[in-house]
Amino acid sequence: MTNKLDELKAENTLKNKAKPSWLTFFYVGTTDDIFSEDIRRVFIINLFASVGVLFTLPLGIVALYERKPILGSFLLLIALLYTVNHLYLRRTHNHALSGNFVIYPLYILMIYLVYTGGVKGTGHVWIYCVPAVALFLHGMKKGLIELVFFTLALIITMFFTNSHFDDFGYDPSLKSRILFSFIVVVFLSGIYEYSMSRFNQELKETSAKLKLVAYRDPVTELLNRRGMLQRLEASSYSSFHLLLADVDFFKRINDEYGHDVGDYALVELANLIQTSLPEKGLASRWGGEEFLIAVCDCSEQEAYTLAELIRHKIEEHEFVYSDHKFRMTLSFGIATMNESTTLREAITLADGRLYHAKRAGRNQTRRN
């Protein structure tokens, strides 16, 4: 198991090295290959901040060159803030707080540009970037609430203050046109964000269902072989006791009563096994009528006692399906995975001991 984990880490390192440097910059050092929601937000927030620096820095320099110290200083301050935000995001990956440092200075900057006109009276043309950024960073509900307040601030700035529109001699209808077009952009951005959120939610649900199918047995709802191996290989424990169980003469159940009864028996067996496990125990349908149980934080004798407990519980249980009543038994093989015995080797040992239990008469547990 250790060798496999080392191989996976080495593979991830190679993949990360293969990323273009510009992508590594925008991912702010994240190395995960899975494009999770958190990584997506880190990526886009950093992209917003980087684009903000690319625009505000040169515009601030131009404003200072044109002898507009207040506007120039304000733009340079935003550029500095976004640069610090990138460094903070790279260090902490706290996209929630970092997103606030993107959107709230943006609100203030946009109102300031509408009021002053920015460079040559063009400040109002930048406000249309606000809806998309606000809705992405804060979602539909909070984003729309903030956009309502921003729109009110926009109305007050344009219609009730001595804004730049009067200074540059714009047509009086321009203010209302800007307001209506901004509301249209908010509406369209809201529709897009809503459709994307619905799509992402359905995608998450579908992904969860696919993972369930990939790692769970559809009949017993226990882990399947792949799920069990994945859990064991990803575990932080270096030692497990493996209990491999096989139903004795299970074929007779299917032949005599039918496959529906056989499925019922497997489900009932799974429930009996699951309710017998300790807190950190794992159970899986290993294949067919085989079950693999893994337990940790216990001695080999305690693992053997658990196998015997389950075996006696199954032996004494009466299975009832419609008019059919029958009993079943299990045979167990036990092995230990530790630093000297790999997972695959332990499974092979357990399988061999299960075979000996079958040859010795069934309905028994072998640990050597």
Q: Which of 7, 146, 202, 289 is catalytic?
A: 289
What is the rounded CA–CA span in Å between residue 309 and residue 329?
A: 12
Q: Which two tokens stand for residue 253?
A: 């159940």
Torsion angle in degrees (nearest 10) through CA of 219, 221, 226, 231: -170
Residue given tokens 């809806």 in the structure block: 131
321 within 8 A of 257, measured Cβ to Cβ: yes
State yes or no: is 289 an active-site residue. Answer: yes
What lies within 8 Å, CB to CB, of 121 at 6+ separation is 164, 167, 168, 170
- Write the DSSP symbol of residue 238: S
What is the rounded CA–CA span in Å between residue 161 and residue 354?
A: 86
Cα 258 to chain center, whole Å? 42
166 within 8 A of 174, measured Cβ to Cβ: no
Catalytic residues: 289
